[in-house]
Amino acid sequence: MALTYAQAFRIAAPNLLETCYAERISLTPFFVLHTWFLSMIRDDFRGGKINLEKAYKLLEKLNVQCSYIHVKYIFKDNDRLRQGRITIEEFRSIYRIIAHREEILEIFNTYSENRKVLFERNLVDFLTQEQYMLNTNKNFAFEIIEKYEPIEEVKEARQMSLEGFIRYLCSSDCQLFDNDYEKVYQDMTHPLNDYFISSSHNTYLISDQLVGPSDIWGYVSALVKGCRCLEIDCWDGSQNEPVVYHGYTLTSKLLFKTVIQAIHKYAFIASDYPLVLSLENHCSPPQQEVMADNLQFILGDALLSDMLDDFSDQLPSPEALKFKILVRNKKIGTLVETRERRNSDKHGQVQEYEEYEEAEKEEEEDKMKESGALTFLKDYSEKETEPRNLVRLPLFRKKRVKVALALSDLVIYTKAEKFRSFYHSKLYQQFNETNSIGESEARKLSKLSANDFILHTRKFVTRIYPKATRADSSNFNPQEFWNVGCQMVALNFQTPGLPMDLQNGKFLDNGSSGYILKPQFLRDYETEFNPYEIPQTSNPVTLTIRLISGVQLPPSSHSSSNKADTLVIIEIFGVPYDQMKQQTRVIKRNAFSPRWNETFTFVIQVPELALIRFVVENQNFLTGNEFLGQYTLPVLCMSKGYRHVPLFSKFGQSLEPASLFTYIWYVR
């Protein structure tokens, strides 16, 4: 039987590995690398030349991440005879072009004593000085060698070749998002109102809100992404079966029970923490009873239908509510009265109460402007006799609401209560009552009474939803409402774009659990934080980013090859003082390996709320720049050192291996 090159090497020089390790000298790099490379590919060339498809598979066999479109054009450039088939030497050239990136070779040579291999001590120096792993030792360095070094002879000598260094630096261990935040690490025992909660709006829709289809996939997709608050728009259906759709439109309809079945199946796929079903309930009492029966029968023990604590006056924690599903709806009476009715027959029992309905529709407001009917109410604090500021509030009208007791009693900690004013909530709102506020009104309140808004969200779960005029399912920027502590900032998950990029980026944190503990200044009863003012006790971050290069970026859709005129925009989202944007120069006709080597510095006053977004574009003067990819994450979740920034498409799909290569450094 024929020997492999590695076996032949051992027979020819049986003691060389031990000598190299003992004397800290390197193996002959050309011989070892040549031996390893040939041993990996020689069988594929026994039949002679190989075509593009085989070359692509062979690169995958060598654990080189590559984009087919880039391999296609590099293959074409190296196919000297233009026959669609290449020799082993031509393949070696393709491999070097894709794998042996110049910027990584430069780093390797800086830390290699002989520009051939890294000894353990060299790798320790690199990890300590460049990757900020201050407690690194030789044992940890060898763990990295064992994990990433592909050449057995080099690995056994406890060394790392350029091949291993490339694989390490391009791995998930060197991505921008710090691995420590990929698990739940925050204290999950605070009350629910202390967390930002991933929330969706009109979750059943997968396109526009007028004629688009309703689909179970909308709920499944949101749950898989870690969403923890789903909206269910409920209406009376035929044959006493409630349906889910966008009322008074031509959107298709789903059976309520089918929606609940799908939710039950996928509720805790991405997160163990509580799921809230926010019912936009337009059903008659008889069909509300059907909804209650569906919820109890389908969800079973997962449905929270009683208090966890008899005497508590604060919401329970996500930890206490693990694997529980909560119903958010109108409610009759108190939690104590609900418990007293437990196990009683509630069939046919309906109660009615008055609530104030907000006349907030844009068109109604315009009519009121014309008639002069819009009123201004003065917002007084509890201790002041003079108005602190003048806040424009919507008109309210009384409305009688009928609620089936069977459904009402399934609402425990998430009772839906109409928001009237911060002052009214301070006097009368109960701890288990939540508010929904439209984006337009919430925006006015945040600008005119930001601190009052924060004090409100300090106590009460507050949900912000898109205005009714967003018929195309567009989204608002959620950052402005996170800045004032709003827990449930509900977005149309079906609509890609900047707002959903921010949503997805923010909730990468804390293990993508859908719950993120709010900063202390948004949880403090005595807080004086105002996002529109620079905090007196600010602990800013000075962030420096060296954008080195792009790696196999998506080519322009307007290009007939793998080219693009690439540029990168780096944006900071947070409090208004931190909003900023910087941009690289344009690298012409290069999407494969553009080199920028540009450095950017940002001073971020409130890093606890800040997100950073990297956007890659193709410059186009005629039609506007073309989006190629983006990545968004919290500023405080970034790793330092040499890091790859993965890129995602407009629709949130991974564009791997496309990435940006950066060097990150920051101080607080």
Burial class of 226 by CB neighbour count within 10 A (0 to 12, 13 to 18, 19+): buried
Q: Strands 396-404, 254-255: parallel, antiparallel or unpaired by DSSP?
A: unpaired
Q: Which uninterrupted H or E stretch holds 626?
A: strand 626-634
Which 8-state DSSP code applies to residue 174? G
Active site (annotated) includes residue 246: yes
For 29-44, what is the HEC assignment?
A: HHHHHHHHHHHHHHHH
**450-459 vs 439-448: helix crossing angle, rounded to 10:** 120
**Among 511, 513, 518, residue whose Cα is nearest residue 272:** 513
Catalytic residue among 70, 190, 246, 456: 246
Q: Residue 146 is encoded by which pair of tokens?
A: 């064992």
3-state SS assignment for residue 420: coil
Beta-ladder partners of 517: 195
Which 8-state DSSP code applies to residue 426? H
Catalytic residue among 70, 201, 456, 644: 201
3-state SS assignment for residue 290: helix
- In this structure, are residues 59 and 98 in contact, taking their beta carbons and an 8 Å threshold? yes
Beta-ladder partners of 279: 232
Length of the chain: 668
Burial class of 139 by CB neighbour count within 10 A (0 to 12, 13 to 18, 19+): exposed
Q: Residue 567 is encoded by which pair of tokens?
A: 């540029």
Query: Catalytic residues, which ones?
Result: 201, 246
